[in-house]
């Protein structure tokens, strides 16, 4: 006990104030520095808190949300494209995109095989895609709703479905050049899909969601912003007439082993385009190995010398100016205009009436009538008919064609322009020009969009001249004309053939031709104008043998589809191909 007391007394005996270790005083500046440092730190923390929570609170809230919130796009449903009767030409169907999160993906070997089969891939490809991704991988875009339901039924963990649409074209290649198609981004690439992109596209919406650490959606943040679907577009096209016109031109091209062909069908009274078909065509939903030749809408983008199809306009102008009457007899023996020998080939006649000039497609008679017109009268007539001007149909790629100013014409140029050389036009422009004959002298504007107010028509001829000209055009499809094979069963018709050598570079090629026929039906009050062109037919190449039969079939079926009653009780006359060929030879003149 004594020893313990002694130790305690010695500890209490230590004088801390006088200890050499504790006796030294702390410098006063050091304590002040520490206090000041603590104060500044507190102020910095308070300032930072004020900056984060008050001054720039929105920024930090957004950065925080980025860690757990996500914006999911809600695509808009693209507007439909309809024909004049409401039949669907293009429509968007639900087609979600299948995605996966490899971090939580879990499937048995059997589920993997079934999933790969539904996605249209091999199991090894599925495994590779999942292995190469970290948190997000697209397995297949635009699967059908039926396929999506089958995938969901597998119960595979880690899969997700993003909303989307796929474009479908029920009329397929028959209307491909009119409707066009969209790309993977659902934006228009060709045709009406491109021309009316703003109306069709709509605007997408979005949905804010909260994701957990594995990327799964656990909550919605606020109300979703719904998309605005695109507007429907209605065309003047009649789907039945379009499909039938496509079939007929396809058959003609294949039968004659031609390079290509086109058909335009117009409503003769309104100028509305009822059909615009080309062959070769393509499938809008399967564009693998697609070529530029298939994509080209030849009826409105390709221009060519229209040949004899323009002769009726020159004849009509001579009638309009009362220079001749249908029964007026003309000297149709060959003659020269400068270096050009104007002739009708081996089947010419020394004399023809004006009506026979149209019926037999006489180059000589047409040039004689053109020479009675002033250059200005003839040039302005061609311009009034739309030659050299782009058709205002709101469609990409429509061509202007070519028409030189009449002031620069030489006599030889005026002569060749009279029978369709030295001027160029698209098939649509030629069809439109015939509205001036079908609509009692008024050239009608052509339209492709239903409901659009077209500009007013332009008077080119008097109603009397147009009616007289239509009766003369009937002669072309008679047994004595150049196109008896164009006469429809049950309907009166009239028109004009065309056959011409193609020009390549600066010269005409003897073994390459274009054959066409443009006409109208019925004669008294035409309901349709049909223009047909076949490019480079093999073997037989005359318009009366190649294009005229297409006109006949298209007119018959179009008028029946439109509910037009027949105006004839008799069948067309039976004629031989030899007779047609003999009558048509005079047209092949460069």
Phi, psi for residue 205 in degrees, rounded to 5: -115, -170
| 470 touches 435 (CB < 8 A) | no
DSSP string of 51-105, one letter each residue: IIIIITHHHHHHHHHHHHEEEEEEPPPPPPEE-TTS-EEEEEEE-PEEEE-TTT-
Of 285, 358, 290, 281, residue with least CA distance to 324: 358
Query: Which of 92, 262, 281, 308 is labelled catalytic?
Result: 308
DSSP string of 213-234, one letter each residue: TTS-EEEE-S--B--BPPPPEE
106: DSSP letter: B
Q: How far apart are the first and last CA of the chain?
A: 144
Whether 308 is catalytic is yes
Q: Which H, E and C letters describe 325-375, residue by residue? A: CCCCEEECCCEEECCEEECCHHHCCCEEEHHHHHHHCCHHHHHHHHHCCCH
Adjacency order of strands within the sheet including 159-162: 137-140, 97-100, 159-162
Sequence-distant (6+) residues with CB within 8 A of 94 are 145, 163, 164, 165
Q: Strand 137-140 to strand 97-100: parallel, antiparallel, or no bridges (unpaired)?
A: antiparallel
- Distance separating alpha carbons of residues 441 and 434, to the nearest angstrom: 9
Q: Which residues are catalytic?
A: 308
């Amino acid at each position: 006990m004594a020893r313990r007391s002694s130790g305690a007394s010695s500890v209490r005996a230590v004088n801390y104030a006088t200890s050499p270790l504790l006796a030294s005083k702390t410098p006063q500046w050091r304590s002040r520095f520490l206090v000041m440092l603590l104060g500044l730190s507190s102020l910095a923390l308070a300032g930072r808190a004020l900056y984060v929570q008050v001054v720039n609170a929105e920024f930090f809230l957004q950065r925080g949300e980025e860690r757990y919130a996500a914006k999911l796009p809600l695509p808009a449903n693209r507007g439909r494209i309809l024909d004049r009767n409401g039949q669907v030409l293009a429509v968007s169907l639900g087609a979600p995109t299948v995605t996966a999160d490899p971090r939580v993906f879990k499937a048995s070997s059997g589920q993997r095989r079934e999933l790969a089969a539904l996605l249209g891939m091999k199991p090894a490809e599925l495994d590779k895609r999942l292995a190469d991704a970290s948190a997000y991988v697209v397995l297949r875009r635009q699967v059908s709703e039926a396929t999506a339901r089958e995938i969901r039924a597998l119960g595979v963990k880690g899969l997700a479905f993003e909303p989307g649409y796929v474009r479908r074209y029920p009329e397929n290649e028959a209307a491909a050049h009119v409707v066009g198609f969209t790309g993977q981004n659902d934006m228009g690439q060709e045709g009406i899909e491109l021309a009316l992109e703003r109306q069709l596209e709509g605007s997408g919406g979005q949905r804010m969601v909260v994701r957990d650490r594995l990327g799964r959606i656990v909550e919605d943040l606020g109300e979703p912003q719904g998309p605005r679907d695109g507007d429907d577009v209605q065309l003047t096209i009649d789907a039945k007439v379009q499909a039938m016109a496509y079939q007929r031109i396809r058959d003609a091209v294949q039968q004659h082993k031609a390079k290509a062909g086109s058909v335009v069908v117009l409503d003769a009274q309104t100028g509305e385009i009822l059909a615009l078909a080309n062959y070769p065509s393509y499938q809008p939903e399967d564009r693998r190995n697609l070529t530029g030749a298939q994509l080209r809408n030849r009826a409105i983008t390709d221009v060519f010398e229209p040949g004899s199809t323009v002769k009726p306009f020159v004849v009509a102008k001579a009638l309009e100016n009362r220079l001749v009457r249908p029964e007026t007899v003309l000297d149709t023996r060959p003659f020269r205009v400068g270096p050009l020998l104007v002739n009708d080939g081996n089947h010419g006649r020394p004399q023809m009436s004006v009506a026979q000039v149209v019926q037999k497609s006489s180059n000589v008679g047409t040039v004689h009538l053109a020479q009675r017109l002033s250059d200005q009268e003839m040039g302005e007539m061609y311009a009034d008919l739309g030659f050299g001007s782009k058709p205002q149909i709101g469609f990409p790629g429509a061509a202007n064609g070519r028409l030189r100013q009449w002031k620069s014409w030489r006599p030889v140029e005026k002569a060749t322009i009279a029978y369709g050389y030295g001027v160029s036009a698209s098939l649509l422009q030629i069809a439109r020009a015939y509205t001036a004959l079908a609509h009692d002298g008024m050239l009608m504007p052509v339209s492709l969009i239903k409901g659009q107010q077209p500009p007013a028509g332009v008077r080119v001829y008097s109603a009397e001249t147009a009616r007289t000209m239509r009766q003369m055009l009937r002669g072309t499809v008679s047994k004595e004309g150049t196109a008896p094979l164009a006469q429809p069963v049950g309907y009166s018709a009239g028109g004009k053939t065309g056959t011409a050598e193609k020009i390549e570079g600066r010269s005409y090629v003897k073994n390459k031709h274009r054959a066409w026929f443009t006409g109208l039906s019925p004669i008294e009050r035409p309901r349709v104008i049909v223009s047909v062109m076949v490019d480079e037919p093999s073997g037989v190449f005359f318009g009366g043998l190649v294009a005229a039969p297409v006109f006949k079939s298209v007119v018959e079926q179009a008028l029946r589809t439109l509910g037009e009653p027949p105006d004839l009780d008799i069948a067309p006359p039976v004629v031989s191909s030899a007779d047609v060929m003999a009558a048509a030879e005079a047209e092949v003149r460069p």
